Structure 1
Amino acid sequence: MQRKIQTVQTLLDALPFIKEFRKQTIVIKYGGSAQTSANLKEKFAQDVLLMYLVGIKPVIVHGGGKRITEILDRLKIPTNFIEGQRVTTPEVMEIVEMVLSGDINKEIVSLLNNHGAKAIGISGKDAHFITARPKDFEKLGYTGKIENIDPEVVNRLIDEKFVPVIAPIAASDELSHPGYNINADLAASKIAVALKAKKIIFLTDTPGVLDKEKNLISTLDAESVEKLKQEGVIKGGMVPKVDACLEAINGGVEKAHIIDGRVEHSILLELFTSAGIGTQIVK
């Protein structure tokens, strides 16, 4: 009986958060171990389904860099990186689109649909809802920088009770253009701003932003982020994550969260508990 009472208490504890986020759009950048572990995939799908069933509007943006590199290696197509960004030649772009828009996107859609969420997969090329230009064509090829996002396509899907699953491929205004490979973190941030999302959540392979002693920092703002960058505490792969968070916050998103996707049900723990489990970045 005590366990049953505890279960009810847990649900009651989550109730204020469910009320707050109901009918709100929440963008989730899905990546890291949560995207590759069979068990964590199941937990992710359950989290999204629960959000969907209580009236939250989840939007999934995914990456797939590791899978792209694996396929390129298998096909013996050379791939290079400059300052952490993939040089996207026409041959590489073909594989990027095949993996992101085809393989990974449809896998996520199938996973969510099998659990009972009504998911549909799209890329930025669909209705040209994401358009981009080259970051530096001579150095990076078809690696793009987003110019515009038209939220109408995604909003219509949300209105029809779909969970949009978005591959970060952007369109070009040029005829017969292969499109642009977009950093998934930055795509998620831009999409969150365009959709006027309440929150954006980044699933990573770290607990969040850590201080010098490797302790979790629960809350940050722009000033503290800049200070930690200058001190070398925020460095490497965490820099684009916090930059994407700040871009979202500056664009009107209420809060951005960096959480550990290796923890089962990490999304629900961050959304529906007072303490949360990761780092939130606020205005």
Structure 2
Amino acid sequence: MNNIIVVKCGGSILAELTNEFFESIKELQNKGNKIVIVHGGGPEIEQMLTSLSIKSEFVNGLRKTTSEVLDTVEMILAGSVNKKLVSMLTSNKLKAIGLSGVDGELLKATPINADTLGHVGEVKEVNTELIKNLLNLDYIPVIAPIGAQESGQKLNINADTAAASIASALKAKHLLFVTDVSGILKNGNLLEEVSEKTVQELMLDGTIYGGMIPKVKAALSAMSDGLNEIMIVSGKTSFVTFEGSLAGTKLIKELEVV
């Protein structure tokens, strides 16, 4: 099954997804593709931790996750955010089913560094059979990035790396990072294809700045997970062209010399 497209939606874009985004998902399905969605939920997690007066800090870009923080992260990711996204897909006439990585041992994980990060994990194994069975039933699996160790201990997994691991395990055709812009812009113009080396240069010269930096870094790190190309697309407009191709910025390991 090499017609799988993994779509990663960050927590900050979920509230801004438009009808055009969901129409694009339908268009991909109409062309014979199977869709898997992995989502984050940072803003809602932050809001809930603040309201509960639970202190949280980031270490090297990852949220240090104590047992108390983990309970909140799971409540938001596997609970409210996951079901909200499933509801949005359903209301747009798309069959969707919400899961966390704990369900059916979907994401087996191990701690990255328990001393410095607590219950933060990385994916070691993906239950691709479960995902493919759902895809064969024409469901869109909507996955919250909570994994579990063999012992049953749950682990908080970065949504970007979870999406990359799932795409790699499924041998997906594409991994799409959904953002609030149409891709990487230079002087107002969309860059349709950039190499890893060019991305580094664009970050240095300030073309890539602000909120696009972590998105691009996540895409670059995903490419090291066995994926040769990744797309950055918009969740606010249609990202499928009339010809059926993807509209956005394609990141590739290296541009071919013609």
**Larger Cα-atom Rg:** 1
Q: What number of residue pairs does the alignment pair up?
A: 253
Alignment map for 1:198-217 (pairs within 5 Å)? 198-211=173-186, 213=187, 215-217=189-191
Q: 1:108 to 1:159 in 2, by over 3 A?
A: same
Offset at 1:94? 0.5
Alignment map for 1:8-27 (pairs within 5 Å)? 24-27=3-6
Q: Which runs of 5+ in 1 are unaligned?
A: 1-21
Which residue of the other structure, out of 27, 41, 44, is the alignment partner of 1:64?
41
Partner of 2:74: 97
For 2:167 and 2:105, locate their aligned partners in 1 and report how far apart those are by CA, in whole Å. 17
Residue by residue over 1:139-165, the C-alpha shift from the partner in whole angstroms, topping out at 9 and shown as x without a partner, is 211121222223111111111211111
Q: Which runs of 5+ in 2 are unaligned?
A: 254-258
User: What is the DSSP-based 3-state SS (H/G/I as helix, E as strand, rest coil) of the residue aligned with 1:144?
Assistant: strand
Q: 1:260 to 1:271 in 2, by over 3 A?
A: farther
For the 8 Å contact 2:108–2:149, the answer to whether it is kept is yes
For 2:78 and 2:84, locate their aligned partners in 1 and report how far apart those are by CA, in whole Å. 10
Partner of 1:142: 119
Partner of 2:86: 109
Partner of 2:256: none
Q: 1:108 to 1:219 in 2, by over 3 A?
A: same
User: What is the DSSP-based 3-state SS (H/G/I as helix, E as strand, rest coil) of the residue aligned with 1:166?
Assistant: strand
Correspondence 1:279 to 2:252: no
Match for 2:9: what amino acid? Y
Give the number of the structure whose residues are more often strand, by fraction.
Answer: 2
Offset at 1:216? 3.6
Which residue of the other structure, out of 143, 146, 165, is the alignment partner of 2:142?
165
Partner of 2:240: 268
User: What is the DSSP-based 3-state SS (H/G/I as helix, E as strand, rest coil) of the residue aligned with 1:100?
Assistant: helix
Partner of 1:188: 163
Residue by residue over 1:217-265, the C-alpha shift from the partner in whole angstroms, topping out at 9 and shown as x without a partner, is 321123333444566655665455334434554555453111232x322
Q: 1:112 to 1:57 in 2, by over 3 A?
A: same
TM value normalised by structure 1:
0.78
Offset at 1:198? 0.7
For the 8 Å contact 2:160–2:222, the answer to whether it is kept is no
User: What is the DSSP-based 3-state SS (H/G/I as helix, E as strand, rest coil) of the residue aligned with 1:197?
Assistant: coil
User: What is the DSSP-based 3-state SS (H/G/I as helix, E as strand, rest coil) of the residue aligned with 2:183?
Assistant: coil
TM value normalised by structure 2:
0.85
Greater Cα shift, 81-90 or 44-53: 44-53
Give the number of the structure whose residues are more often helix, by fraction.
Answer: 1
Match for 1:281: what amino acid? L
Partner of 2:199: 225
For the 8 Å contact 2:149–2:155, the answer to whether it is kept is yes
For the 8 Å contact 2:18–2:237, the answer to whether it is kept is no
Offset at 1:114? 2.3
